[in-house]
């Protein structure tokens, strides 16, 4: 169900041309193109290289807490996996983009590296076990804490009717993820089990090779004071 109060738009990016992502940051060896007037993201390395072939593409804008993030998702080629990082900050007061050891897309660098974040994997098609039992997983780091896991409603690519409208709400301790207006996952951080509640930070698109996906119409709304539960 759509939120009763959409909030105040504080960031909007159509992700339609290279100019739209001029200030984004790529970690790993990735290629960004716009063949359909939307951002296509893919690795330039062979998937057989494992974690070395995966990429993260960060939005440079630092965002506050109490936000709703929406974007259009178009799966193009699988297998692979998509993640959205959010509330991402560097550890020990560092800026996210100033780690002592530069990140290269290898997953360990994101859950046991120089950053704290939440991240949701919402198109998990990399391994046979993921394709056989499809879930959306929410994790919190530092650490590799699985904090919520729910069924994934997205179909295989051959049956996809893109775009899919994704919505991620982060409001204090509360997280909610929806696809096409249907609530998929909800979780409330108690601030104790997995460390302090994360607040504010950056968002980033992660892909595992050889997946190719496209993204469009990225928007961020300030929902402080709004009813984020609907």
Given 1.20.120.420, 3.20.20.140, 2.40.110.10, 2.60.120.200, which CATH number is that of 8-222?
Answer: 2.60.120.200
CA dist list (Å): 56 to 17, 52, 81, 191, 219: 18, 11, 12, 27, 19
Nearest to 144 by CA among 117, 122, 178, 104: 117
Q: What gap in Å lies between CA 88 and CA 96, rounded to an integer?
A: 7
The answer to whether 172 touches 197, Cβ cutoff 8 Å, is: yes
Any idea of the CA torsion for 144, 169, 191, 120, to the nearest 10 degrees? -10
> Which pLDDT value is given to residue 93?
84
CA atoms within 13 A on the CB side of 16: 5
Q: What gap in Å lies between CA 38 and CA 119, rounded to an integer?
A: 23
Q: List, in sequence order, every residue forming a beta bridge with 70; answer none if it has no partner.
A: 167, 219
CA atoms within 13 A on the CB side of 118: 30
Q: What gap in Å lies between CA 73 and CA 160, rounded to an integer?
A: 11
Q: What gap in Å lies between CA 24 and CA 228, rounded to an integer?
A: 28
Question: pLDDT digits over 130-183, tens only?
Answer: 899 999 999 999 999 999 999 999 999 999 999 999 999 999 999 999 999 999
Phi and psi, residue 19, nearest 5° = -65, -30
Which sign, positive or negative, has the C-alpha torsion 38, 83, 112, 172? positive
Confidence of residue 6 (pLDDT cuts 50, 70, 90): confident
Confidence of residue 4 (pLDDT cuts 50, 70, 90): low
H or E segment and range at residue 160: none
Nearest to 45 by CA among 32, 54, 37, 57: 54
Two tokens, residue 173: 């301790």
> Which pLDDT value is given to residue 2?
47
Q: What gap in Å lies between CA 165 and CA 181, rounded to an integer?
A: 7
Question: pLDDT digits over 10-31, tens only?
Answer: 999 999 999 999 999 999 999 9
């Amino acid at each position: 169900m759509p939120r009763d109060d959409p909030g105040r738009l504080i960031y909007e990016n159509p992700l339609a041309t290279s100019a739209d992502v001029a200030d984004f940051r790529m970690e790993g060896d990735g290629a960004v193109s716009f063949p359909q007037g939307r951002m296509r993201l893919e690795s330039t390395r062979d998937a057989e290289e494992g974690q070395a072939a995966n990429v993260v593409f960060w939005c440079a804008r630092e965002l506050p807490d109490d936000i709703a993030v929406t974007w259009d998702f178009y799966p193009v080629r699988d297998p692979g996996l998509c993640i959205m990082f959010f509330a991402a900050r560097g550890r020990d007061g560092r800026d996210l983009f100033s780690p002592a050891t530069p990140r290269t897309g290898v997953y360990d660098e994101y859950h046991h590296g120089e950053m704290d974040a939440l991240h949701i994997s919402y198109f998990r098609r990399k391994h046979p076990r993921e394709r056989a039992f499809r879930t959306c997983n929410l994790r919190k780091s530092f650490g590799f804490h699985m904090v919520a896991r729910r069924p994934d409603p997205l179909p295989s690519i051959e049956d996809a009717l893109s775009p899919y409208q994704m919505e991620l709400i982060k409001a204090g301790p509360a997280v909610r993820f929806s696809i096409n207006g249907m609530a998929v996952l909800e979780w409330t951080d108690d601030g104790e089990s997995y460390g302090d509640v994360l607040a504010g930070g950056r968002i980033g698109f992660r892909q595992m090779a050889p997946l190719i996906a496209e993204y469009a119409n990225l928007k961020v709304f300030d929902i402080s004071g709004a009813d984020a539960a609907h």
